[in-house]
Amino acid sequence: MDLNRQFWRDQQAAAILGLFGLLLFWWGYGWVKGLLFGLSVMLIQQPAIWWGHRRR
């Protein structure tokens, strides 16, 4: 599989997880905390995605 395509699939999965986190926190704690939680979920996953798709 093309590494670039897999990289963007992983980015899309990180964005979807962040969106679910945002919605759950928004429902429970409010908009600002939901937004911060969703963004933090996406940012936490970035190093693993970049490390997994680095060029050898």
Mapping DSSP onto H, E and C, the string for 1-18 reads CCHHHHHHHHHHHHHHHH
For residue range 1-56, list pLDDT tens digits in order.
Answer: 576 888 889 889 888 888 888 888 777 787 787 788 888 888 888 888 888 887 65
Q: Helix, strand or coil for residue 2?
A: coil
Please state the domain extents for the chain. Answer: 11-51
For residue range 15-26, list pLDDT tens digits in order.
Answer: 888 888 888 877
pLDDT of residue 27: 78
pLDDT of residue 52: 82
pLDDT of residue 1: 55
